[in-house]
């Protein structure tokens, strides 16, 4: 039964983790809008979500044989590949942050995060209704 409860919430948990990671990347882009030679970065969300979901179902655990190996922290859920953005209007100082794009993506990501929270809340309510009758 517990694993079923886990399974119900698994998808949204993974999605929330990825959303919060993407929020950090976009925040970094906006913060570095005046840094020379900074290259804006982002993840391919749907691909990363699929990767994270399949990695979770396969129950991947990173074996660490040295203290200097990277662990599988949830800062980068499911090993999402961080890509570089292709600039539409590159600037003279080598900075590829497009402020309009980054801000819309930041707002978009925030709304999706909230939507995920709403879904998770309603799922919890459904489960509670099923338990309490």
Burial classification of residue 33, based on how many CB atoms lie within 10 Å of its CB (0-12 exposed, 13-18 middle, 19 or more buried): middle
Pick one of 15, 25, 49, 52: the residue that binds other proteins (CB under 8 A).
25
Asked if 102 and 34 touch (Cβ cutoff 8 Å), the reply is: no
Work out which of 8, 30, 53, 101 binds other proteins, going by CB under 8 A.
30
- Please, what is the minimum distance in Å from the beta carbon of residue 121 to other proteins? 6
Please check whether residue 22 is in contact with residue 49, taking contact to mean a CB–CB distance below 8 angstroms: no
50 binds other proteins (CB under 8 A): no
Note the residue count of the chain. 133
Q: How far is the CB of 65 from other proteins (least distance, A)?
A: 18
Contacts of 47 (CB under 8 A, 6+ apart): 81
Q: Is 24 in the site for other proteins (CB under 8 A)?
A: yes
Q: Which has the closest alpha carbon to 19: 118, 116, 102, 124?
A: 116
Closest separation in Å from C-beta 53 to other proteins? 18
Establish if 82 lies at the interface with other proteins (CB under 8 A): yes
Q: In the numeric block, which tokens belong to residue 99?
A: 């402020």
Binding site for other proteins (CB under 8 A): 16-17, 20-21, 23-25, 27-28, 30-36, 38, 41, 70, 73-76, 82, 99, 103, 106-107, 110, 113-114, 117, 120-121, 124-125
């Amino acid at each position: 039964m517990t694993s079923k409860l886990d399974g119900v919430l698994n998808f949204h948990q993974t999605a929330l983790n990825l959303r919060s990671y993407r929020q950090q990347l976009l925040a970094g882009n906006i913060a570095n809008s005046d840094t020379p030679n900074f290259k804006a970065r982002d993840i391919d969300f749907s691909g990363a979500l699929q990767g994270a979901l399949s990695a979770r179902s396969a129950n991947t655990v990173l074996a660490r044989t040295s203290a200097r190996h990277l662990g599988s922290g949830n800062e980068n859920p499911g090993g999402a590949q961080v890509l570089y953005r292709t600039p539409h209007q590159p600037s003279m100082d080598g900075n590829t942050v497009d402020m309009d794009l980054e801000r819309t993506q930041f707002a978009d990501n925030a709304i999706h995060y909230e939507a995920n929270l709403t879904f998770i809340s309603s799922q919890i309510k459904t489960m509670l209704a099923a338990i309490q009758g």
